[in-house]
């Protein structure tokens, strides 16, 4: 039997991890379905910014529901995960806080929009085992 330890990552440390990382997965609802897509993001202040294709079906769905963005790391004897839950907000061009990279891997043309994930809950957990 595996012994394991679970610890909470403070919100401060969650943001350090979010700032160090740039690749996560966004989960959102589409009616009764749950979808999850990988994407690139950037942080600025205490928000998260994504670039998505204009008219994207994902964007339309995600704008009308709560979403969760997850980043993680898993090694041989430990792992951590940070989840940001909140709502998406479509930004006007003038609002872009910084150069948001094309959200590889899911954007392939220039017709894109920038979306802010306004965090409501930021939680992290760290795990270790032998």
Of these, 13, 17, 25, 91, which contacts a copy of itself (CB under 8 A)?
Answer: 25
Burial of 19 from C-beta contacts in 10 A (0-12 / 13-18 / 19+): exposed
C-alpha distances (whole Å) from 16 to each of 5, 10, 73, 97, 124 are: 22, 10, 14, 19, 11
54 touching a copy of itself, by CB under 8 A: no
111 touching a copy of itself, by CB under 8 A: no
C-alpha distances (whole Å) from 22 to each of 30, 47, 65, 128 are: 25, 13, 23, 24
Least gap, CB of 35 to a copy of itself (angstroms): 6
Number of neighbours of residue 24 by Cβ within 10 angstroms = 22
38 touching a copy of itself, by CB under 8 A: yes
**Count, residues near a copy of itself per rule CB under 8 A:** 40
Mark 70-109 with x for binding to a copy of itself (rule: CB under 8 A) and - for no binding: x-x-x---xx-x-x-x----------------x-xxxxx-
- How far apart CA 88 and CA 22 sit, in angstroms, is 17
Instruction: Closer to a copy of itself by CB, 116 or 124: give it.
Output: 124
Of these, 59, 68, 88, 122, which contacts a copy of itself (CB under 8 A)?
Answer: 68
- How far apart CA 96 and CA 104 sit, in angstroms, is 18
- How far apart CA 51 and CA 22 sit, in angstroms, is 12
Using CB under 8 A as the criterion, which residues of the chain lie in contact with a copy of itself when the complex forms? 1-6, 23, 25, 27-29, 32-38, 65-68, 70, 72, 74, 78-79, 81, 83, 85, 102, 104-108, 110, 125, 127, 129
């Amino acid at each position: 039997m595996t012994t394991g330890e679970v610890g909470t990552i403070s919100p401060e440390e969650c943001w350090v991890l979010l700032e160090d990382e740039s690749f996560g997965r966004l989960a959102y609802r589409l009616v009764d379905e749950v979808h999850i897509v990988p994407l690139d993001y950037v942080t600025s202040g205490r928000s998260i910014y994504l670039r998505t294709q204009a008219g994207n079906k994902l964007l339309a769905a995600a704008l009308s529901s709560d979403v969760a963005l997850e980043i993680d790391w898993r090694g041989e004897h430990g792992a951590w995960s940070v989840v940001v839950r909140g709502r998406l907000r479509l930004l006007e061009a003038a609002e872009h806080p910084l150069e948001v990279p094309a959200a590889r891997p899911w954007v392939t043309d220039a017709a894109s929009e920038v979306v802010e994930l306004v965090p409501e809950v930021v939680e992290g957990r760290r795990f270790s085992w032998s």
